[in-house]
Structure 1
Amino acid sequence: MSEHATPWSEGPAMQGPRLLPWATAEGKPCYLSTDGRGYVATLADNIESVQLGMGAELLEYARDTMAPGAKILSATEYCWLACRLTEALSDALRVADSRGQRLPGPEEEEEAGEDV
């Protein structure tokens, strides 16, 4: 099984504010009012791609460390790996949440189909 970071720039036009792939200094979510184009939207797309790519690479590393015959890591190394995997999972869930919010709902899909 292979994981790939996919760009979202070809995604559907958004409705409402977009959840960005970063938080405020206080840890609160950041949102952007956008049509899906522009500098900040493009920056967010690029950061999401980097986050997903890094997560895929980290997952590959984790799988390699757990493979039969792999070198046993120290407790510190396993702790580091667990922390990085937690960060990567958090990033991936935020990207999924953001992209899920941008998907058209069933009503929007029906309306789009009627306009054709």
Structure 2
Amino acid sequence: MGETTEAVSGLRRLPWKTDSGKPAFLATDDPNSMLSLMADQIEEQHLTNASTILGLVEPMYGPEARLTAAEAVFMLRRTAESLAAVIDVARMRGERLDSE
């Protein structure tokens, strides 16, 4: 989760991994290719998920919150997963900006 990946010149890193767990890359500069559009949709879904999770957990950590340990661990895991995905999206978009 949240590993650092070096950008590969001329390639777009995709928001999924290969079967062997390595970063997947796309070798096209066509932003309208099927894989580019799919990657855009997945990145957008990661951002939407993060926003949803934030909205769900915000009321859970206020002064009136009464969480069990299991609920707190579950909340923390989902939040961490979401944060890792959003960081990856930011890095991937940064890599694309650097290559322009």
**Which band: TM-score by shorter chain?**
0.7 to 0.9
Aligned length: 91
Aligned residue for 2:82? 88
Q: What SS is found at the alignment partner of 2:20?
A: coil
TM-score (norm 1): 0.70
Q: Structure 1 residue 25: deviation in Å?
A: 3.3
Q: Structure 1 residue 80: deviation in Å?
A: 1.0
Aligned residue for 1:44? 39
Aligned-pair identity (%): 36
Aligned residue for 2:55? 60
- Greater Rg, structure 1 or structure 2? 1
- The separation in 1 between residues aligned to 2:93 and 2:56, in whole angstroms, is 26
Please give the per-residue CA displacement for 1:22-63, whole angstroms capped at 9, x wherever unaligned: 112332111111222211100110011111110111112221
Q: Structure 1 residue 104: deviation in Å?
A: 4.5
Unaligned 5+ segments in structure 2 are 1-8
C-alpha RMSD of matched pairs (Å): 1.7
- The separation in 2 between residues aligned to 1:84 and 1:104, in whole angstroms, is 30
**4+ long deviations beyond 2 Å:** 24-27
- The separation in 2 between residues aligned to 1:23 and 1:86, in whole angstroms, is 19
